[in-house]
Amino acid sequence: MIRTLLLAASFVAAAGATASGQTAAPQPQPAAELRPSEVLKTPVLRAHVEVTGELVRIGDVIDNAGAAADIAIYRSPDLGTTGALPTATVLAALRAHQVIGVDTRDISEITVTRLARTLSAKEIEQQVIRTLQQRHSLGEAEDITVNFDRDVETKTLPAAYAGALQLVSERFDLRSGRFDISYEIAGGQGTAPARLRVTGTAIETVMATVLTRPVQRNDVIKASDIATERRPKSEVASDAVARDAAIGMQVRQTLRGGQVLRSADLSKPDLVLRDQAVTLIYRAAGLYLTARGKALDTGAEGDVVSVLNLQSKRTITGTVVGRGQVAITVISPRVVASATKPE
């Protein structure tokens, strides 16, 4: 490094002498002092290098590269990847271009990362959803399920392609849900835009209560019999039942596993069955009596059914109030005041 500095100083001094010889006779001059900007700075090795192009240049791997900064010495790693180079190998490549005296700062190797723009499959899916929402007034993003015709993998582009996905063309069939969409991403000046085309189906979905197993007529729905999952909106009727509302209800007919539950499929569970022994409950002001009876009808809670009082053998009506229980309302006699005027 000392030799390089001396040669530079001699060159500056000689140039000064030549310039003065053109205007006057040579005169003894004091030794010129180098300004701070003219002092050659020590090249310093970088431990971590980031590049955007296909080549690694001297100015990428060292600071203070000077005029040699633009000289290419290696090919860059693949887009979005990182490679390592031993320091000795880097120094040998620098010496081949007369770059010496490099301060390595005791670095044993350097890493070189080629910067890139990555588009994940999730980002592409979300962009498709936004496009369909904006152009076709579909529901919320979480209610749209996208299925691509081919698996969409992460796209890796040069770092210059940093812009947003711009829509080029779009076709969408509302009935089938099929789409064909093309986008492009602008690159740097003088580069062609990167293009991306995706095809598949997009279906608007809703949360629905579905059976986890087949059920038979008159079965009562338990929590383990049902689950909540997304289904195409076209498969879910307007009278679909919420999960909590379905628990404890009775099935009107045989249903298969995986079927979406509707209110028409369910009814209140029968608490009283025809020919079943029931308890008759008589209520009146200050009166509470029970008797044995026989149901003549089947009914759910709140239904009015006919029952036979086994003691009196009379058929009466009452309201189902619980499992095997029918309430009988007793009408208390009213005392009618005499209209005769006192004498």
Confidence of residue 8 (pLDDT cuts 50, 70, 90): very low
Q: With left for phi above 0 and alpha for psi between -120 and 50, is residue 248 left, alpha or beta?
A: left
Query: Could you tell me the residue ranges of all domains in the chain?
Result: 41-114, 120-205, 206-267, 270-329
Is the pLDDT assigned to residue 50 strictly greater than 50? yes
Q: What is the pLDDT of residue 34?
A: 42
Reduced to 3 states (helix: H, G, I; strand: E, B; else coil), residue 123 is: helix
Average pLDDT in the 61-71 region?
A: 94
Is 16's pLDDT higher than 70? no
pLDDT of residue 235: 86
Residue 140 exposure: Cα atoms within 13 Å on the Cβ side: 4
More confident residue, 43 or 16: 43
**Cβ atoms 196, 124 nearer than 8 A:** yes
Question: Considering the domain 206-267 in this protein, what is its CATH number?
Answer: 3.90.1210.10
As a whole number, mean pLDDT of residues 140-154 equals 91
For residue 168, what are its two tokens?
């080029």
pLDDT of residue 30: 46
Task: Give the closest residue to 99 by CA, choosing from 135, 128, 73.
Answer: 73
The residue with greater pLDDT, 74 or 1, is 74
Given the candidates 2.60.480, 1.10.150, 1.10.3470, 2.60.120, the CATH classification of the domain at 41-114 is: 2.60.480
For the stretch 81-123, pLDDT in tens is: 999 999 999 999 999 999 999 999 999 999 999 999 999 999 9
Structure tokens at 206: 């809703």
Burial 17-36 (b: 16+ CB within 10 A, else e): eeeeeeeeeeeeeeeeeeee
Is residue 306 over pLDDT 80? Answer: yes
pLDDT digits (tens, 9 = 90+) for 39-48: 568 999 999 9
3-state secondary structure of 55: strand
- Claim: this prediction has a pTM higher than 0.95: no
270-329 maps to which CATH number? 2.30.30.760
- The Cα angle at residue 334 between residues 328 and 338, in degrees rounded to 5: 170
Residue for token pair 């209610």: 143
pLDDT digits (tens, 9 = 90+) for 187-223: 878 789 999 999 999 999 999 999 999 999 989 999 9
